A = this chain, B = another copy of it.
Amino acid sequence: MDLKSVSSSKSFGGYQKVYEHFSPTLQCNMKFGIYLPPGVSETEKCPVLFYLSGLTCTEQNVITKAGFQKFAAQYKIIVVAPDTSPRNCNIPNEDEKWNVGSGASMYVNATEEPWNKHYQMFTYITEELHQLVLNNFPVIQDKISITGHSMGGHGALLCALKYPGRYKSVSLFAPACNISNSPTLIGGLTALVGEEKDILQKWDTTFLVKNYDGPEMEILIHVGSDDEFLTKDLLIDNFVKAANECKDNKIKTKVFLEDGYDHGYYFVSTFIEEHFKYHSSKLSS
């Protein structure tokens, strides 16, 4: 695996780095951010938290705007922030719309032309990047957690529901929870995987959670009451209802509706300390 260093900046005693690599899964070059806390080394390994960003983001958004490095340093957690889709693949109109194409992989494996050659983001995140991080950085191999914002919240849920037991903890910021029922998001999803209802539901966390049969899982969710996508696109209530119906009560959701916050990074940065505290407690137990 050929990892090319793009940048490295000291931050809160550790290093915020960006790497580029050729992804065989996606058939293009990909970037990801990785924060290495102070002191981390081959002899002092750390847990790792994957952070999946929302539509239109690159790996830069969370590493520059969320202010997480202070808490990643404090709790000694490596943080991996992948890009949100393949880019520069010469797919017609790939950069034209914010909800289809570049930045809008929806974290699924595409089956439809022209996206299917490159847009295999679910496999990229859960297999290729996952192994790449475990093989190349000082990570404690069984201490892995996941979080995400907006469409990245959907992505984090997909990972957690389709890999039961892999992630020690799951937390979400204003997650899209039922994308096949969102009028804004359904167009992107059908472009990637077609219009068959049972296929759509295999990539919709509200449907997936009903049949979840892995170890017990608690999911921490923060969302702002002034989030402009709350009622029409995030559909968190649908997910919570479905989670409550899953057998043996295996999924527990802890949802905090935060008064007056919107969908952006001012919201994420306000609550990110709580999420690191949460992941740290689960990762150290």
A residues with CB within 8 A of B: 9-13, 16, 64-65, 67, 69-70, 224, 226, 260-262, 264-267, 269-270
**Are B64 and A9 in touch, CB under 8 angstroms?**
no
Distance, CA A69 to CA B260, complexed state (A): 16
7 A-B pairs with CB atoms under 8 Å apart are A9-B261, A9-B266, A10-B260, A11-B269, A13-B270, A65-B65, A70-B270
Inside 8 A of A265's CB, which chain B residues have their CB? Answer: 64
**Are A11 and B64 in touch, CB under 8 angstroms?**
no
Closest 10 CB pairs of A and B: A67-B67, A11-B266, A9-B266, A10-B260, A10-B261, A12-B270, A64-B65, A9-B262, A16-B266, A11-B270
**A265, closest chain B residue (CB):** B64
Report the minimum CB–CB distance from A260 to chain B (whole Å): 4
Q: Which of A12, A65, A270 has the most CB of B within 10 A?
A: A270
Identical copies in the complex? 2
**Are B10 and A267 in touch, CB under 8 angstroms?**
yes
List 19 additional A-B contacts (Cβ < 8 Å) besides A11-B269, A67-B70: A9-B261, A9-B262, A9-B264, A9-B266, A10-B224, A10-B261, A10-B262, A10-B266, A10-B270, A12-B269, A13-B270, A16-B266, A64-B65, A67-B67, A69-B266, A69-B269, A69-B270, A70-B269, A70-B270
**A258, closest chain B residue (CB):** B10
Distance, CA A264 to CA B60, complexed state (A): 14
Distance, CA A112 to CA B69, complexed state (A): 44
Inside 8 A of A264's CB, which chain B residues have their CB? Answer: 9
Inside 8 A of A226's CB, which chain B residues have their CB? Answer: 10
Report the minimum CB–CB distance from A274 to chain B (whole Å): 12
**A8, closest chain B residue (CB):** B262
Distance, CA A267 to CA B16, complexed state (A): 11
Distance, CA A270 to CA B15, complexed state (A): 11
